[in-house]
Amino acid sequence: MASQSRTPYTILGCLTLQPMSGYDVKQFLERTLVHFWSESPGQIYPTLRRLEEQGLAEGSAEPGQRGKEKRVYRITDAGRETLQAWLRKPAEPSQPRYEHTLKLFFGHSVGREASLAHVERLRRRTEADLAHYREHERELAEQAAKEPDSPAPYWLVVLRGGIQYSAMALEWCDETEATLRALPTQSADRRPGRASQSDREDEE
């Protein structure tokens, strides 16, 4: 451990749900956490090995559904302790880097039309995400109501976060579109290769 990679904890978290192979972990993350967290195979398989070496998980060979046999890991008591200790520690603040934010920030260099295009693309993506989240919301809410001690409520609050984020983003798209449309068109004249007036002077 001792590293600040969150992959081992993510995997341990998956293993608390049920014993899983690397493939199972990958599938589970892709189906439930995609938009909130993801891990690549190049991380998952080596990490599972390491978890076993450290006694945090135990692997056993089991026949796969088709193809090769599966190597199924189950979490150990030590693994549960390690996971819980990490889960209790404050989360590191994360500063995400949204490329569309960066492109908009420097939008003055290309003018409103190009910037509006970014907003529209973001809107379409966000609408698709939102529709996707809404589908899952009902399922999870039912599961949370039925099973008394299931992890569903925790998954639901995360999903609600995604829904609220998307709704916020769509409102921001509306507002931004209006703001940009209200701008004078002159900055749209900054065609590629043409320096802006204020920068020309001692150039060339």
Q: Is 31 in the site for DNA (CB under 7 A)?
A: no
Q: Is 151 in the site for its own copies (CB under 8 A)?
A: yes
Q: Is 49 in the site for DNA (CB under 7 A)?
A: yes
Residue 121 binds which entry of DNA, its own copies, none, CB below 5-8 Å type-dependent: its own copies
Q: Would you say 30 or 66 has its CB closer to its own copies?
A: 30
Cα–Cα distance, 173 to 167 (Å, whole number): 10
Q: Considering CB under 8 A, how many residues would be counted as binding its own copies?
A: 85
Residue 130 binds which entry of its own copies, DNA, none, CB below 5-8 Å type-dependent: none
Cα–Cα distance, 174 to 170 (Å, whole number): 6
Q: Is 45 in the site for DNA (CB under 7 A)?
A: yes
- Residues with Cβ within 8 Å of residue 9, at least 6 apart in sequence: 82, 83, 86, 87
Cα–Cα distance, 124 to 170 (Å, whole number): 9
Query: Interface residues for DNA in 53-92 (CB under 7 A)?
Result: 64-68, 70-72
Q: Is 160 in the site for its own copies (CB under 8 A)?
A: yes
Q: What does the block give as tokens for 66? A: 């088709």
Identify the residue among 3, 31, 149, 181 touching its own copies (CB under 8 A): 149
**CA of residue 86 relative to chain centroid, distance:** 20
Distance set, CA 146 to CA 9, 133, 139, 140 (Å) = 28, 20, 11, 10
Query: Interface residues for DNA in 116-175 (CB under 7 A)?
Result: none
Identify the residue among 16, 34, 36, 40 touching DNA (CB under 7 A): 40
Q: Is 188 in the site for its own copies (CB under 8 A)?
A: no
Cα–Cα distance, 176 to 165 (Å, whole number): 16
Q: What does the block give as tokens for 124? A: 């379409």
Identify the residue among 1, 102, 131, 145 touching its own copies (CB under 8 A): 102
**No. of H helices and E strands in the chain?**
8, 2
Q: Is 94 in the site for DNA (CB under 7 A)?
A: no
Largest CA distance in the chain: 73
Tokens 């909130």 belong to which residue? 36
Q: Would you say 38 or 196 has its CB closer to DNA?
A: 38
Strands (DSSP E) along the chain, which ranges?
Answer: 57-62, 70-75
Q: Is 39 in the site for DNA (CB under 7 A)?
A: yes
Q: Note the residues at the interface with DNA (CB under 7 A).
A: 3-7, 21-24, 38-43, 45-46, 48-49, 64-68, 70-72, 97
